[in-house]
Structure 1
Amino acid sequence: MSSVTLDAWQRPGPTAGQRRTDRWTGLAVAVVGILNLFLARRAEILESEHAAALPEQICWVVATTLPLVLRRRHPDMVAVVIALAFIGGQFRGSQEQQVTTGALFAAIYTLGAWGPNPVRSRALRLAIIGAMFAWLAAVFVIFGHRLDDDPAVRASLAFNSFVVNAAFFAFCYLMGDAVRQSVRRSHELEEQAAELRAAQALAAERAVLGERVRIARELHDVVAHHVSVMGIQASACRRALDKDPARARTALAAIEDGARNAVDELRRMLGALRTSSLIEKESPAGIDRLPEITDRARDAGLTVRYAVYGDPVPLPESLSLAAYRIVQEAVTNTLKHAHAQVLDIRVRYLSGELELDVTDDGRGGSAASGGMGLVGMRERVAVHDGALEHGPHPDGGYRVRARFPYQASVAS
């Protein structure tokens, strides 16, 4: 980020709570300053015949401290007013200097941290600090004889005052800049975080749309297959209708099953259809090819247990493909993330439901939460009206379990 951009950045103004805090703080500092004035007078600190009367000293204390009630709303004005009141109070011989000096330092710090214009704030702070040292030099030149008659003592006091004040002024100046820079960086980080969240949301949306396009492409081949078979069976039925009624009935039954399967596929996948450019057709895959996945996992070094429970039934091709892809993604995540040794894959054919259960003994992170692979699994399960569970297994490792319902007529 360029220096021009840095200077152009505007810090947001104080909140209602911060303004309320400033009001109470300014009032409290003014009260403490007045009390300290009475204590200084009682202890005869800086007492001299040149000191102003008590009412005037109280006015100088109030003029130097009370503007702090507006320190974050109008930092430029407050710093200038406090600086002028501080010099005026010292010139008139006010005996309170500790609290008013703190108010001056606070005003300089606030001007650096909250000034609306960094360039103007920097110039004002340098001008105020320069004026303070000029006044300090004038004090020792004009009033130095009142402090001590010994020139060496006066020189020592002057040197000590300059060094201490230089340290305090430098601290306030640099601290104000540091706080402003910290707030600016926090603001930049918040903007970057918002942009990152928007980019992540867009990437997730694109991933979902991409997955739906891939599912739609796969469905195209499935439906085309069913329609082609229905056309062949209809042609055979037409030729055999008069000569072989039994064969015609068999063909009609096949057409009925094919139509039911095709309609079922269309109903499930209609929401996932998207227009897309032609993409290279993937090789056919289905639940019968799960042993290929287990073989690849074994080749990668895992101990794989694969079992099928229940009597396998014919499944719609898109459902079979979805089952294959989900197991494939779960195994891939195990190989990539889980650092597992044992992989357990179970396929259960239940009454009207297919259940896939993939469990590993890794460190419980095989399906990184919110990952693109998990988005794809959710999409595939959702379009088949199924359910997906994923998370750490009670006995250790990670578990992915998917359930797909299917109609009994499809399995008959």
Structure 2
Amino acid sequence: MSSLDDWRRPGPTPRQRRIDLVIGLVVVAAALLYVMLARSVGQFVWGVERSAFEHLGFAFAITFPLIWRRSHPDVVLLVTAVVFIVGQVREAQEIQFASGAIFAAIYAEGAWGRDHARARWLRIGVIGAMFGWLAVAWLISVDGIPEDAFADGTGELPPLLSALVSQVLMNVVVFGFSYFFGEIAWLAARREAVLVDQTEQLRLARATAEEQAVVTERLRIARELHDVVAHHVSVMGIQAAAARRAMDRNTETARDSLTAVEESARTAVDELQRMLGALRTADEPVTAPSPGVERVEELLDRVRDAGLTPHFAVYGTAAEVPASTSQTAYRIVQEAVTNALKHAGASTVDVRIRYLARELEIDVADDGRGAVRTTGGMGLIGMRERVALLGGTVEAANRTGDTGGFRVRSRLPLAVPKQRESTEEKVAS
């Protein structure tokens, strides 16, 4: 709705049309009855005797169109105005109901006109025509006014001028009210339409936001499931293979490998239960927090049992890390180490965590086959999504030099911007 004149008011409802029919017929009957009463007592306003058919015909013609005043306001206004002026020219117009009909038609045009600009000019034109006819009528009748017509006047102004001014003022007030209240009714209808439209837009926006929230939550769950299941299953597979190879040669080594498989399986199940428990209901508290950067060393202890030699170091002064940043750092290390176990055939992995002035840097490098991971998989995609949510950066590429291998380096802001606070809470959950 770009402007007031662009909006077109819908037509009346079937119920409103039925109401208009009933009211219109009642007004027609009342106008015809009033004409008969006026004729019976000899008080017809013009003082000119016309046939009953003509008197009743004009009363009917000016009130009957009001039945369609809301469905066809333009036509009703024009017909009513023409009948009104013709009836006065013929001096056969009953003035009370005729005046009420023209005022009702002007109001209806303002309130129900489909094209508001056209309705405005139609009303101005009809009102101008009415004042034009008033001027013509005065010019025609002024010479026929008896000399003693104002003999009883006691005012300070000329009687003829006073009569003219009073009629003009009365018509200005009545026509003005008809125009004004029609305009008010149209504006009220438009405001209601705007509110309905805005309500619908808010409903659609809310539905879209809810759908987006569902999609976002599904992506978050997918990342969590991938990180948890992929890592622990990879460790279990490697430990199971080691146990199989050592079964006949070294029973103690096989036992240790199977113990590591058991622990990895238990950890994976615990984390899956935590996530699924959080999904069952929003009101159910999460019983265990997601692991953070403080548990990276525990993670590396588990991969050591799988045959991968880890090197771990922390640089800088440890600072307070937001929960989402801490969890993302852990997941980056977990994904990088999992890839080294699954895809690279690496023997060592070097994990470095640096606390910088404004950022937390995570650097994970291995000596395996790097090329197989440069295209990126679901794990790398999820890693980038996590980092992007926090406004950080991540690089994942083959290492240069003689050592070869693959490197993942990420920088996460230690202070989460205000506009990302809601995102942080979602990630932390």
- Give 2:51's aligned amino acid: A
- Contact 1:208–1:376 under 8 Å retained in 2: no
> 3-state DSSP class of the match of 2:10?
coil
Structure 1 position 237, deviation (Å): 1.7
Give the superposition deviation at 1:247. Answer: 6.4
Aligned-pair CA distance for 1:285: 9.1
2:76 is paired with a residue of what secondary structure? helix
Specify the alignment match of 2:65 in structure 1: 67
Distance in 2 (alpha carbons) for counterparts of 1:74 and 1:186: 21
**AA of the residue aligned to 1:212:** R
Q: TM-score, length-normalised on structure 2?
A: 0.57
70 and 213 in structure 1: CA distance in 2 versus 1, 3 angstrom threshold: same
* Superposed CA RMSD: 3.8
CA distance in 1, matches of 2:47, 2:226: 104
- Amino acid in the other structure paired with 1:11: R
| Inter-partner Cα distance in structure 1 for 2:239 and 2:113 | 84
Q: Say yes or no: does 1:219 pair with 2:225.
A: yes
Q: How far does residue 188 in structure 1 lie from its aligned partner after superposition?
A: 2.6
How far apart are the structure 2 equivalents of 1:239 and 1:120?
Answer: 92
Distance in 2, matches of 1:49 and 1:12, equals: 44
Within-5 A mapping of 1:116-131: 116-131=114-129
For structure 1, the residue ranges without an aligned partner over 5 or more in a row are 273-280, 287-316, 319-371, 381-412
- How big is each residue's C-alpha offset from its partner over 1:91-144, in whole Å with a ceiling of 9 and x where there is no partner? 333363222211110101111222232332222211211111122222233234
The structural deviation recorded for 1:34 is 1.3
Q: Which has the larger radius of gyration?
A: 2
Q: Is residue 166 from structure 1 mapped to residue 166 from structure 2 by the alignment?
A: no
Instruction: Structure 2 unaligned segments of length 5 or more: list them.
Output: 152-157, 280-289, 296-329, 332-421
One-letter amino acid of the structure 2 residue matched with residue 220 of structure 1: H
Matched with 1:289 is none
1:7-34 Cα shifts (integer Å, max 9, x gaps): 3332212221122221112111111111
Residue pair 1:7, 1:118 contacting (<8 A) in 2 also: yes
Q: Which residue of 2 aligns with 1:359?
A: none
Secondary structure of the residue aligned to 2:91 is coil
- The number of equivalent residue pairs is 285
Between 34-43 and 74-83, the greater mean CA deviation after superposition: 34-43
> For residues 254-269 of structure 1, what are the structure 2 equivalents within 5 Å?
255=261, 258-259=264-265, 262=268
Contact 1:22 1:69 in 2 (8 A): yes
* CA deviation after TM superposition for structure 1 residue 167, in Å: 0.7
Corresponding residue SS for 1:210? helix
- Say whether the 8 Å CA contact 2:59–2:93 is kept in structure 1: no
1:228 Cα shift? 4.0
Q: TM-score, normalised by structure 1?
A: 0.59
Is structure 2 residue 283 aligned with structure 1 residue 283?
A: no
Partner of 2:287: none
**Contact 2:45/2:95, CA 8 A, preserved across alignment:** no
Mapped partners of 1:265, 1:30: distance in 2 = 82
- After the TM superposition, which of the residue ranges 15-24 and 164-173 deviates more from structure 2? 15-24
Q: Are the equivalent residues in 1 in contact too, given 2:62–2:101 (CA < 8 A)? A: yes
CA-CA distance at 1:264 after TM superposition: 8.8
Out of 31, 48, 52, which is 1:54 matched to? Answer: 52
Deviation at 1:35, TM superposition (A): 1.7
Identify the match of residue 154 of structure 1 among 129, 146, 160.
160
Post-superposition offset of 1:216: 2.5
Counterpart in 1 of 2:372?
none
Counterpart amino acid of 2:138?
F
- Superposed, 1:74-93 pairs within 5 Å as 74-93=72-91
Whole-Å Cα distance in 2 between the matches of residues 215 and 285 of structure 1?
22
Name the counterpart of 2:132.
Answer: 134
Counterpart Cα distance in 1 of 2:293 and 2:218: 17
